[in-house]
């Protein structure tokens, strides 16, 4: 059993998928988000889309960092995490603007004061302002903030995003076909619209990242930061303090800042591509929960995906793997490994799409291809290993 499973979580969410197997899959079962008829206005040429997601256990890292340093600014990043995990999923079906967003924050009031809530709400507002010049218009409709200390140890930060969208402008992944190439967009580095280096970790796999990287003393000092029913052998087993530093691109960066880098949005890039290169995009996959195996869920037919030229994983994943001892298979199943967005297109369109991405400071390259197959399958080349899924 993997460390991830021993901590009560699952990269593939098998039980969740089992529990929801009877739900309506929507109009396009292979689309990255569920798409439904236009129930709001009953227009056959339009659809309704709603998506819910959040920052997950990354909020616990922000809690630890804040308790150690008193720095409230990291909570603004948690707000961005909750938004982007919705926004970039919706971008994968072609939705850009306008969008409606409602937040859901559950806190233990005894431990989380009002100033933390203010930082999260301010982070939400400022992120929306940052996106507006890129044609991403998100309207903040408030939401629910509840004091539920009997349920929540510290704080959870989630959100729901919705849109009404023309059916003719949807990306449903139905065009993914043999001969397509896959362009990967990097989640790390620093884009034209970011103010600091981004580690690329995003908001998935943070249970592993936290416990595998941070020192045992965190459990003793902050017992509210983990499930006390877990076996102690999997709780905070790493070598690091949040204040430890490493040098990346001649800059000194703390472990805390690496783990808490706000989830990068690809909205500016994808908005430009959807506007100017819509017909060239055969499919989009956000490598979130399930990491590099996420694409298997959204293939429209028995196809084989081969990823043999992935971007070089940034340092944060080496830190996590070295601390945990996890093998390559588990790392690529749990984490995005630096390549967080996949664009499926024809080889003829690859260069123009890569040029657009790089114009925003987002590194991009052809990471693989799609081949005919009798079953859905995936092959990942990780160093000298060939991983089969």
Q: How confident is the model at residue 176 (pLDDT cuts 50, 70, 90)?
A: very high
Local structure of residue 118 (DSSP, 8 states): H
**Domain of 171?**
3-196+260-388
Kindly tell me if the per-residue pLDDT of 7 is higher than 70. Answer: no
Residue 63: inside a domain: yes
Q: In this predicted model, what pLDDT tens digit does every residue of 242-300 receive, in sequence order?
A: 999 999 888 899 999 999 999 999 999 999 999 999 999 999 999 999 999 999 999 99
Residue 243: inside a domain: no
Contact 186, 362 (CB under 8 A): yes
Residue 247: inside a domain: no
Cα 215–chain centre separation: 25
Contact 154, 112 (CB under 8 A): yes
Q: What span, in angstroms and rounded, lies between the C-alpha atoms of 291 and 206?
A: 12
Residues in CB range of 340: below 8 A, 6 or more apart: 185, 186, 187, 200, 202, 264, 266, 286, 287, 288
User: 79 vs 3, 55, 91, 121, 162, CA distance in Å?
Assistant: 28, 8, 18, 7, 17
Contact 214, 236 (CB under 8 A): yes
Task: Supply the angle between the helices 350-359 and 267-276 in degrees, to the nearest 10.
Answer: 140
Structure tokens at 235: 């709780």
Structure tokens at 186: 């990097």
3-class secondary structure, 114: helix
Percent helix / strand / coil, the chain, rounded to 5: 35, 25, 40
Mean pLDDT value of segment 27-56: 97
Kindly tell me if the per-residue pLDDT of 122 is higher than 70. Answer: yes
Residue 225: inside a domain: no
Question: Quick one: pLDDT at residue 66?
Answer: 98
Residue in 118, 156, 260 with CA at minimum distance from that of residue 198: 260
Kindly tell me if the per-residue pLDDT of 4 is higher than 60. Answer: no
Kindly tell me if the per-residue pLDDT of 13 is higher than 60. Answer: no
Contact 136, 182 (CB under 8 A): no
Question: Quick one: pLDDT at residue 242?
Answer: 97
Structure tokens at 384: 């000298």
Contact 181, 67 (CB under 8 A): no
Q: In this predicted model, what pLDDT tens digit does every residue of 198-251 receive, in sequence order?
A: 999 999 999 999 999 999 999 999 999 999 999 999 999 999 999 999 998 888
Range scoring the smallest mean pLDDT among 13-22, 90-99, 143-152: 13-22
Q: Counting Cβ atoms within 10 Å, is residue 15 exposed (0-12), middle (13-18) or buried (19+)?
A: exposed
Question: Quick one: pLDDT at residue 22?
Answer: 65
Residue in 383, 330, 363, 376 with CA at minimum distance from that of residue 12: 330
Look at the chain and report how many structural domains it folds into: 1
Question: Quick one: pLDDT at residue 236?
Answer: 96
Domain with residue 374: its CATH number is: 3.30.1330.10
Question: Quick one: pLDDT at residue 16?
Answer: 55
Q: What span, in angstroms and rounded, lies between the C-alpha atoms of 375 and 378?
A: 10
Contact 224, 154 (CB under 8 A): yes
Task: Supply the angle between the helices 267-276 and 73-91 in degrees, to the nearest 10.
Answer: 20
Q: In this predicted model, what pLDDT tens digit does every residue of 297-335 receive, in sequence order?
A: 999 999 999 999 999 999 999 999 999 999 999 999 999
Mean pLDDT value of segment 175-194: 98
Place of tokens 């998506």: 51
Q: How confident is the model at residue 1 (pLDDT cuts 50, 70, 90)?
A: low
19 versus 310: the higher-pLDDT residue is 310
Dihedral (CA of 277, 305, 89, 324) sign: negative
Residue 99: inside a domain: yes
Q: In this predicted model, what pLDDT tens digit does every residue of 335-373 receive, in sequence order?
A: 999 999 999 999 999 999 999 999 999 999 999 999 999
Q: What span, in angstroms and rounded, lies between the C-alpha atoms of 170 and 282?
A: 11
Question: Quick one: pLDDT at residue 139?
Answer: 97
Residue 227: inside a domain: no
Question: Quick one: pLDDT at residue 250?
Answer: 86
Q: What is the CA radius of gyration of the chain?
A: 20
- pTM, two decimal places: 0.93
Kindly tell me if the per-residue pLDDT of 20 is higher than 90. Answer: no
Cα 354–chain centre separation: 21
Mean pLDDT value of segment 96-120: 97
* Helix or strand run (H / E) with residue 254: strand 251-254
Range scoring the smallest mean pLDDT among 19-33, 128-142, 174-188, 340-354: 19-33
Phi-psi region of 79 (alpha: psi -120 to 50; beta: other; left: phi over 0): alpha
3-class secondary structure, 8: coil
Mean pLDDT value of segment 52-75: 97
Q: What is the mean pLDDT of the chain?
A: 94
Question: Quick one: pLDDT at residue 24?
Answer: 76
């Amino acid at each position: 059993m993997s460390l991830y499973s021993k901590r009560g979580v699952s990269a593939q969410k098998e039980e969740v998928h089992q529990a929801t197997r009877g739900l309506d899959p929507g109009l396009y079962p292979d689309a990255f988000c569920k798409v439904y008829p236009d129930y709001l206005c009953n227009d056959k040429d339009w659809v309704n889309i709603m998506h819910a997601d959040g920052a997950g256990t990354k909020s616990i890292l922000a809690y630890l960092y804040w308790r150690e340093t008193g720095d409230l600014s990291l909570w603004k990043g948690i707000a961005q995490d909750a938004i982007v995990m919705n926004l970039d999923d919706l971008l994968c079906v072609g939705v850009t603007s306008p969008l409606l967003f409602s937040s859901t924050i559950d806190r233990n009031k005894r431990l989380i004061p009002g100033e933390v809530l203010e930082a999260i709400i301010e982070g939400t507002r400022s992120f929306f302002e940052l996106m507006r010049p890129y044609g991403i218009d998100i309207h903040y409709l408030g939401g629910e903030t509840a004091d539920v200390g009997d349920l929540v140890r510290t704080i959870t930060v989630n959100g729901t995003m919705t849109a009404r969208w023309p059916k003719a402008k949807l990306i449903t992944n139905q065009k993914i076909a043999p001969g397509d190439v896959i362009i990967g967009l990097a989640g790390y580095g620093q884009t034209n619209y970011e103010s600091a280096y981004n580690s690329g970790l995003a908001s998935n796999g943070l249970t592993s990242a936290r416990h595998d990287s941070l020192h045992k003393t965190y459990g003793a000092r902050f017992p509210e930061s983990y499930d006390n029913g877990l076996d102690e052998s999997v709780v905070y087993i790493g070598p690091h303090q949040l204040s430890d530093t490493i040098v990346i691109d001649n800059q000194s960066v703390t472990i805390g800042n690496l783990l808490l880098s706000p989830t990068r949005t690809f909205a500016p890039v994808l908005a430009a591509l959807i506007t100017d290169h819509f017909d060239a995009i055969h499919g989009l996959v956000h490598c979130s929960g399930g990491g590099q195996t996420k694409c298997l869920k959204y293939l429209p037919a028995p196809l084989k995906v081969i990823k043999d030229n992935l971007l070089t994983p940034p340092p944060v994943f080496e830190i996590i793997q070295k601390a945990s001892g996890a093998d390559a298979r588990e790392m690529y199943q749990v984490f995005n490994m630096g390549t967080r967005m996949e664009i499926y297109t024809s080889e003829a369109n690859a260069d123009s799409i890569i040029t657009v991405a790089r114009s925003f400071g987002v590194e991009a390259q052809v990471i693989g291809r799609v081949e005919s197959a009798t079953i859905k399958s995936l092959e990942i080349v990780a160093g000298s290993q060939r991983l089969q899924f």
